Amino acid sequence: MKLSIPIVETIQKRHSVRTYQERMLSTQDREALLDCISRLDNPFGIPVHKYIIEKKLRGDCKKLGTYGVIKGASTFLGVSIPNVKLAPVAAGYEFENRILYATHIGLGTVWLAATFNRDSFSHAMNIPQEELFLAISPVGYPAARRSLTETLMRSTTKSSSRKAWESLFYQQDFITPLTENMAGDYAIPPEMVRLAPSAKNAQPWRVRKDENSYHFYVTYKSGLSEGEELIKRVDLGIALSHFHQTVMEHRLTGNFEFMSQEDVKLPENVHYIIFLRA
Ligand SMILES: Cc1cc2nc3c(=O)[nH]c(=O)nc-3n(C[C@H](O)[C@H](O)[C@H](O)COP(=O)(O)O)c2cc1C
């Protein structure tokens, strides 16, 4: 489903928010968010389960903590998935669409896959035991100034910078970079991938253009834990949301198709996920 918001503009506007005004969501914003959540889907046909909870700003819900990372927020979204291979990609896609919608209506968000008390949020959101609980995000009104913790986190992960085109995008093989000129009409979708958020701002996505197909990969070193590998796939799902939604906004064709095997020799630590045929 194409989100009915200006995609490119919203992607350019989005950044992580960890410091919020201490107030609840207005009824209007809450309803708009709920309405959007109920309509979202993903192109992979995988059920992604979404949650929303509200905690009191002060008092009884101390355990719903974020290790001091998030200040002021009272509404939290959550996402869980069945344990199937493409599910983390589907969840990345669908949850990012929610983040973009929230951004569009003026709310701050930040993906949290690590710095939150997983047990207490899982309990409060009633996550079924057989599901993988991937991440949460606060939603609320950004405070005028960032907390010191947030400022430090942004500078540690260099959150405002992104890798250059030539380290992320290739054509045909993994040697020839895809430049903005060569991408032609398709330059905007890769640029929107480049602006995507990723865990620790690692930007693990790689894209290879081969005639009319775009192949999507993630990079990571061997020896990663199962949980960390899962998050790389979530990162790719986020990138796919940016790419696919932008393709639809610009009326460039594109359906997701799966490919079982590839001829191209992959560089070390590069893992194939999916391709999009234009
Ligand atoms: C899957 C995922 C998991 C993340 N987990 C955390 C987290 O646990 N704690 C946190 O403070 N930020 C987390 N982030 C936020 C990233 O650090 C942030 O998106 C990145 O630094 C880029 O900054 P930006 O979102 O402002 O563009 C996560 C982001 C993604 C996409």
Distance separating alpha carbons of residues 9 and 14, to the nearest angstrom: 9
pLDDT at position 94 is: 97
Decide: helix, strand or coil at residue 33: helix
* Residue tagged 């020896």 (tokens): 223
Q: How far is the CA of 197 from the centre of ligand 1 (A)?
A: 6
Domains of the chain: 7-156 (3.40.109.10), 165-277 (3.40.109.10)
168 with 216: CB under 8 angstroms? no
pLDDT at position 213 is: 85
Residue nearest atom 31 in ligand 1 by C-alpha distance: 198
Ligand 1 and 234: CB distance under 6 A: yes
Distance separating alpha carbons of residues 271 and 219, to the nearest angstrom: 6
Segment 89-103 mean pLDDT: 97
Distance separating alpha carbons of residues 106 and 12, to the nearest angstrom: 13
Ligand 1 and 159: CB distance under 6 A: yes
157 with 149: CB under 8 angstroms? no
pLDDT at position 63 is: 74
Q: Pairing mode, if any, of strands 205-210 and 169-171?
A: parallel
Helix axes of 87-104 and 226-249: crossing angle, nearest 10 degrees? 50
- Give the model confidence (pLDDT) of 211-261 as tens digits: 878 899 999 998 999 999 999 999 999 999 999 999 999 887 666 666 656
- Give the model confidence (pLDDT) of 28-64 as tens digits: 999 999 998 888 999 999 999 999 999 875 654 557 8
Ligand 1 and 117: CB distance under 6 A: no
Q: How far is the CA of 233 from the centre of ligand 1 (A)?
A: 14
Give the mutation target among 201, 203, 218 for probing the ligand 1 site: most ligand atoms within 8 A of CB.
Answer: 201
pLDDT at position 218 is: 95
H-type alpha helices, the chain: 7-13, 27-39, 87-104, 118-125, 148-156, 165-168, 180-183, 188-194, 226-249
Q: How far is the CA of 147 from the centre of ligand 1 (A)?
A: 16
pLDDT at position 65 is: 87
Q: How far is the CA of 17 from the centre of ligand 1 (A)?
A: 10
Q: Edge-to-edge strand order for the sheet containing 75-81?
A: 49-54, 75-81, 132-140, 108-109
Distance separating alpha carbons of residues 165 and 66, to the nearest angstrom: 34
Distance separating alpha carbons of residues 190 and 130, to the nearest angstrom: 35
pLDDT at position 277 is: 76
Distance separating alpha carbons of residues 236 and 126, to the nearest angstrom: 27
Segment 112-128 mean pLDDT: 95
pTM, entire model: 0.95
pLDDT at position 83 is: 92
Which tokens go with 95? 């949850």
Give the mutation target among 14, 110, 159, 163 for probing the ligand 1 site: most ligand atoms within 8 A of CB.
Answer: 110
Segment 8-31 mean pLDDT: 97
Ligand 1 and 230: CB distance under 6 A: no
pLDDT at position 212 is: 79
- Give the model confidence (pLDDT) of 141-196 as tens digits: 999 999 999 999 999 999 999 999 999 999 988 999 999 887 777 799 999 999 99
pLDDT at position 259 is: 65
Decide: helix, strand or coil at residue 204: coil
Distance separating alpha carbons of residues 197 and 37, to the nearest angstrom: 20
Indicate whether 99 pLDDT > 90. yes
Segment 102-117 mean pLDDT: 97
* Residue tagged 């950004």 (tokens): 142
Distance separating alpha carbons of residues 183 and 179, to the nearest angstrom: 6
Give the mutation target among 15, 89, 111 for probing the ligand 1 site: most ligand atoms within 8 A of CB.
Answer: 111
- Phi, psi (deg, nearest 5) at residue 112: -125, 115
Q: How far is the CA of 199 from the centre of ligand 1 (A)?
A: 5
Ligand 1 and 199: CB distance under 6 A: yes
Residue nearest atom 1 in ligand 1 by C-alpha distance: 199
- Beta carbons within 8 Å of 35's beta carbon, 6+ residues apart: none
Relative to the CA of 18, which ligand 1 atom is closest? 11
Indicate whether 72 pLDDT > 70. yes
| Amino acid making up residue 46 | I
Ligand 1 and 236: CB distance under 6 A: no
